[in-house]
A and B are shown apart, each in its own frame.
Chain A
Amino acid sequence: MYPAAFDYKRPESAAEAISLVNEFGDDAKFLAGGHSLLPLMKLRLAQPTVLIDIGRLADLSYIRDAGDHIAIGALTRHKDVETSALLRQHVPLLADAAAHVGDRQVRHRGTIGGSIAHADSASDLPATILALGAKLIAEGIGGRREIPAVDFFKGFLESALLPDELLVEIQVPKMSNAGWSFLKFNRRAQDWAIVGVAAWRDAGNCGVALVNMGSTPILATSVVRAIADGASVTDAAALACAEAEPQSDNNATAEYRTHLAQVLVKRALETCSR
Chain B
Amino acid sequence: MKILVIVSQTQDTEAKIQVSAGGDSVDTADMKWIMNPYDEFAVEEAIQTKEKHGGEVVIVSIGPARVVDTIRQALAMGADSAVHINGDGFAETDPFAIGKLIASEIKKLGDFDVIFTGMKIIDEESGQVGVQVAEELGIPHVSLVSKVVEINADAKKAVCQKEIDGGHVVVEAPLPCLITCPDAMNEPRYASLPGIMKAKKKPLTEVGIDDISFDGLGFSKEAVSKEGARVKTTGIEVPQIERKLKIIKGSDEPMVKGEEVANAAEELIKLLREDAKVI
State yes or no: do A and B come from one complex. Answer: no
A: residues with CB less than 8 A from B are none
